Amino acid sequence: MDSILVKGGGALSGQIAIAGAKNACLTLMPATLLSEEPLTLTNAPRLSDIRTMTELLRSLGAEVTSLQDGQVIAMSSHAIDNHKADYDIVRKMRASILVLGPMLARDGHAVVSLPGGCAIGARPVDLHLKALEAMGAELELRDGYVHAKAAKGLRGGVVDFDFASVGATENALMAATLAKGTTVLNNAAREPEIVDLANCLRAMGAQIDGDGTPTITIQGVDRLHGATHRVVTDRIELGTYMLAPAICGGEVELLGGRIDLIAAFCEKLDAAGIDVSETPQGLRVKRRGDRIRAVDVTTAPFPGFPTDLQAQMMALLCTADGTSVLEEKIFENRFMHAPELMRMGARIEVHGGHATVTGVDKLKGAPVMATDLRASVSLILAGLAAQGETLVSRVYHLDRGYEHVVAKLRGVGANIERIHGT
Ligand code: UD1
């Protein structure tokens, strides 16, 4: 298994190009199943999760071709000959459940294994299933699989989400595009990835209103056609790299960065003493003083502070002046990075969904273990600011969500290298 070795110390300067969003791409790819015509995605990120989705779609009979070094994904689903998403693929990635809505909407039947993914809580799929049932699907859970049927096709319905689940909103939105009649999704998720999906579906001929608000209305159509769509910027990769100069000092420009994707996060950076300014090409980030100020952070669905940046923010606050409280409201078990950061000298106390972080002057390099995708990058950020060497093991988590992380950070002067097979 590969590791990443980080030698902390210096300030960073230069530019980092931000990729297309993993989480957008993982919902845009299953949208190919809604049409017999080709769907092409540009600005796709090069990640192992994208390869897993490619493998899943191919197993269903879709043609998926990776072009331009993986930045373009050309898909065609004219012949879907398998309607079963197998456990062996689905267990690798929770987003696999997103093939359920499209297959069911198109062909009236689908069998999908219950998903796996990061070990950050129970993460059931009940909201996905409830939404599809509201559109007339008949569902049965058997042997670890969801067996779904809609013999006469899906019909429009009203879905009241108990919680604004991102994945459940995406599954329902895709399914509703081909349902007969009108579907209303109440308390829908508002994440930029939902708006990106709606933009792509509209380009394919879908009739959707209200995406980006809590109520999305979809007027079903008989068929969708082909389209080419550019994947929105990855706001989580953006936020992660914004924290690099915040932690290490220096000044970095994030190419493709947009404040509207990440406003709640930018407000917290400002409160912590970090300047964020817009440039013609993106965003520039610079620390104002020598020491970060402590800030309290509570994660929330968009437009709130993203749970996917909580671990990275904690890495920043480990060396802040004062005590910060981080409250995790989306997932019940998402502080696994805390004990690893404590190995580097951080002072953190975790009580249920709260972590209290008392800033120390300096972190110290140590061998640490990545426990999930965002936790692993938080350890790299901490290592960049620590004295000495930090060896982050189990970096396969990182490969799920960050393309070329070593090259991108080296490009702004970080001392970081990948060590193969340790
Ligand atoms: C997506 C993102 C993930 C991010 C999360 C929250 C993708 C591929 N992943 O995940 O990176 O951390 O949004 O912003 O886009 N829940 C249920 N029942 C359900 C569905 C969800 O109880 O049917 C719960 C989950 O256990 C979790 C919470 O709702 O506690 C949020 O989940 P959800 O918004 O669905 O996240 P994902 O779509 O899985």
Instruction: Name 352's Cβ contacts closer than 8 Å, sequence gap at least 6.
Output: none
**Predicted local distance difference test score (pLDDT) of residue 124:** 85
**pLDDT tens-digit map of 274-312:** 999 999 999 999 999 889 999 999 999 999 999 999 999
Q: How far is the CA of 94 from the centre of ligand 1 (A)?
A: 9
Cis peptide before 124 (omega within 30 of 0): no
Placement of tokens 């109520």 in the chain: 215
C-alpha span between 374 and 235 (Å, rounded): 13
Q: Which whole number is the average pLDDT over 152-164?
A: 97
- Centroid of ligand 1 to alpha carbon of 193 (angstroms): 13
CA–chain centroid gap for 112, Å, is 21
Residue 98 and residue 167 in contact, taking contact as beta carbons nearer than 8 Å = yes
21 in Cβ contact with 235 (< 8 Å) = yes
266 is catalytic: no
CB atoms within 10 A of CB 114: 17
What is the C-alpha to C-alpha distance for residues 98 and 276, in angstroms, rounded to an integer? Answer: 35
Q: Quick one: which atom of ligand 1 is closest to the CA of 124? A: 18
Q: For the residues 15-24, what does the mean pLDDT come to?
A: 98
314 lines ligand 1 (CB under 6 A): no
Two tokens, residue 401: 């969500």
Q: Is the CB of 165 under 6 A from ligand 1?
A: yes
325: left (phi over 0), alpha (psi -120 to 50) or beta: beta
Give the DSSP letter of residue 404. T
CA of 72 to the centre of ligand 1 (A): 26
Distance CA 89, CA 269 (A): 38
Residue 248 CA to ligand 1 center (angstroms) comes to 31
Q: What is the pLDDT of residues 36-53, one digit of tens each?
A: 999 999 999 999 999 999
What residue ranges define each of the domains in the chain, with the CATH number in brackets?
3-19+233-419 (3.65.10.10), 22-230 (3.65.10.10)
Is the CB of 128 inside a 6 Å radius of any atom of ligand 1? yes
Residue to mutate, 48, 159, 193, 330, ligand 1, most ligand atoms under 8 Å from C-beta: 330
Please tell me the distance between residue 237's alpha carbon and the centre of ligand 1 in angstroms: 18
How is residue 217 annotated by DSSP?
A: E
Q: Ligand 1 centroid vs 331 CA: distance in angstroms?
A: 8
Give me the pLDDT at residue 53, please.
97
What DSSP designation does 232 have?
Answer: P
Q: Is the CB of 265 under 6 A from ligand 1?
A: no
- The finding on whether 331 has its CB within 6 A of some atom of ligand 1 is yes
Check pLDDT > 70 for residue 116: no
Query: What is the structure's pLDDT at 118?
Result: 45
**Ligand 1 neighbourhood includes 162 CB (under 6 angstroms):** no
CA–CA dist 349, 419 (Å, integer): 32
What pLDDT was estimated at residue 360? 97
Q: Is 339 left (phi over 0), alpha (psi -120 to 50) or beta?
A: alpha
Residues 135 and 182: their CA atoms lie apart, in Å, by: 10
What pTM was estimated for this model as a whole?
A: 0.96
Residue whose CB lies within 8 A of the most ligand 1 atoms, among 166, 170, 234, for a mutation test: 166
Catalytic residue among 118, 248, 266, 318: 118
Average pLDDT value for the chain = 95
pLDDT of residue 303: 97
Return the ∠ at Cα 262 (arms to 72 and 193), rounded to 5°: 40
Q: Rounded CA gap, 269 and 262, in Å?
A: 11
Q: Which residue has the CA at smallest separation from atom 22 of ligand 1? A: 124
**CB 229 less than 6 A from any atom of ligand 1:** no
User: Which atom of ligand 1 lies at the shortest distance from residue 22's CA?
Assistant: 8
Q: State how far the Cα of 154 lies from the Cα of 231, in Å rounded to an integer.
A: 28
Residue 121 has pLDDT above 90, yes or no: no
Average pLDDT over residues 78-99: 93
Token duo for residue 221? 């159509």
pLDDT-based confidence at residue 1 (cuts at 50, 70, 90): confident
